[in-house]
Structure 1
Amino acid sequence: MLVDKSRITLHEFSASFLPEYKIMRSRKINLRRRLSRGFTLVELLVVIAIIGALVALLIPAVQQAREASRRAHCQNNLRQIGLAAHLFHDVEKRLPPGWIGVTTTGEDEVFGLTGWSWSAHLLSQLEQGAIADRVALDWPMLHEINDASRQQRVTTFSCPSDPSQEDLSFESAVNAPLTLPASHYVANFGPTPLSASQNYSGTKRRFSGQPFRGPFHHNSETKMRDFLRGTSNTILAGERRSNRTTGSARATWTGVAFGHAEYLSHAVGSSHLPINDADNSAFSSSHLLGSFFLYADGHVAFWSQQSEHLLLAKMSMLDQSDDRLPIMLAGGGFEFGETPEDSEDDADAEDDDGNFLIGGGGGAGICPICLRPSERPWPHIPGEDDHVPVNRPIPIR
């Protein structure tokens, strides 16, 4: 009997086709399930919001970490400067001068022609020998022989927190437009206002005898023994924010450029004003709410801009002759170089408020330290016999 193989039974059909059908159906169901797992618009917005919140929390943390690193770098720069100053003192038996200058007559005048600052004297100790070898300290800073050396940048004098790392531009009616590398550190001049100091005309002895003196000034030769408050209690240098506005008197490591406005601010800073004051001569920084200061013993401390101004001024002085300091900081009672109108060299001359007045300037006046009559422009000069010696030790050059 012949069998027709073209025909299949229902059972055979089910056995061969249904498994494949089930597999295809299962794949369709799985595909539908996968398609149904996509994000809705609300879910997408929620995810975006979460990511944005995380980024908002992360960015300030990253910025704080970076600023902490920059602060540590700045602090280390000041430590290196302090170490360099001590190495210089070990060799020269004195600290570098605030700035140097000799006139054409050979006298050590404030308005001298040289202008190189304390920082230029420390280049060798800061391992900047290549630049130091090219700096001609015996020639004026603006002389053509120093054109190349004064354009060099020194990273140790640069605070990474300062937003401007570019060179500074200066203009003057005396000198041609000038570009100098920026520095963010200045030496301590003391609490005497720089605006008044620029009018001082005299030798380094007159600067040494002026009241409220810091360790760095014109042709200074300060020694470690001169820090009568102690090296751990006296500021050696501090920070200065940069400002690239043309004609502005911001800091540069090279020195003072005579003929430019407020030229002493190029090298030194005054504690006459609070920290972060808008004045060019004040200590300031780009750190939040304060500034770093280097002390004479080499340690570095951060001062809040809310710190007591009088304390900062006292810690910027070499000696302890600060009896009249509050009057000077207040801007009242006297002016440097002023002689009392109704005084004939009277040691007890007072103003209308009963405050002692400081004489000097044009001749006769009152010594601001011992309050005795003096006939010198800057009265308290050790070795002179026109006033009685003070009852506290004073550095003697």
Structure 2
Amino acid sequence: MSEPSLRILQVSTVDIAGGAEKIAWDLFTSYRAHQHQSWLAVGTKRSGDADVFSIPKNPNRFSQFISSCFNRHSYAAYVSGRIESLTNPARIYSHLIGHENFDHPETWSLLDSVPERPDILHCHNLHGGYFDLRALPPLSHQVPTVLTLHDAWLLAGHCAHSFDCERWKTGCGNCPDLTIYPAIRRDATAYNWQRKAEIYRKSRLYVVTPCRWLMDKVDQSMLNPGVVASKVIPNGVDLKVFHPADRASARQDLGLPHDATILLFAANGIRKNIWKDYQTLQSALAEIAKTGAKVLCIALGETAPPERIGDVEIRFVPYLKDPRKVARYYQAADLYLHPARADTFPTTVLEALACGTPVVASAVGGIPEQVVEGRTGFLVPVGDARALAERVLDLLADEGLRLRMGRQAAEDAARRFGLERMVGEYLAFYRAHHKGEGI
């Protein structure tokens, strides 16, 4: 006998984007394909999907008028948000003293924004200026509320990743870097931490993380008292799109030289992305150039002029929306590189592995749970350009090892990181708790 369908409302920053937003979107569309009622509430809507809706910003009349003047412009949401902020004295004051912005009253009526009361409310990233965290207690007492953490913002006084700082364990304050995203103007991190802790104590939350590394942080954090049940569910990618393919054919499709050694690195805004480590990539490529190796490094995710370091060329490719086009770059590459200063469970690493492309990455966050050292790729210390270069050169010099790692990467990804596996695990988690079972 088949299980009854579920009504699932997800919450995410944006509907069409990469990273965490892509995971929410893939779940949203997959649930619908499995005959569940699926909705997606977002801070900013970019698609035309009828089951996606924007959480209203509740602007005043002046900001409504300004927004209407720009309603056909790509900056409409940004303009409306800025005007609303400038005409809201309380919000301006909170911003100036470093309080995180929870002033989004429409969050409280979220469950009434869909045609039927959902069985599950599933929240993804809640930072980004669109969600009132103070609504979690009443929402979570009305329907089972799942939080999937894609970073550590819920655990700290302002930052999405704390790097080496561990003040998040004890209450923040004396923040070493207020500029880390989401940045704040003044050090109100202790107040922000306490406010979050009080919210969680009043809530009943079902917490999911994509890796054990992040769940261990949850267990040590002020979020823990509000957790009813938790589970590690690794993110997944669509194996019908991301899979091994003929390298020569992929290079021909992309207009890439068939006889080149091609390395790939993908990220949003590569050169200035504070989580990624473009400087270490450059230094590693400089080390590789010293050997006389001729290498083409594709930097996917930014528009910029090409760079050259000896016989090594760095060629930038703008962000691509079409996942099938993105997959062709993984399929065309000899190796995927992922130097990072901080990361949780990067989708780009999963996509590379699924395409049978060995990965050389920083051993940070949940990446060691993605890459099997010595079998599907290599892990190197954070910021160690020489180690990164040495591992790349090892694989370029040993074609047999590189091809074997590629086969093992695709096999491991098919077993552990498929989209359907992720969907099935989430549905099982929902069913275990949507009527209060296991509480």
Greater RCO between the two (CA within 8 Å, min separation 6)? 1
TM over 0.5: no
Larger Rg: 1 or 2?
1
Task: Identify the structure with the greater helix proportion.
Answer: 2
Which band: TM-score by shorter chain?
under 0.3
User: TM-score by structure 1 length?
Assistant: 0.26
User: TM-score by structure 2 length?
Assistant: 0.24
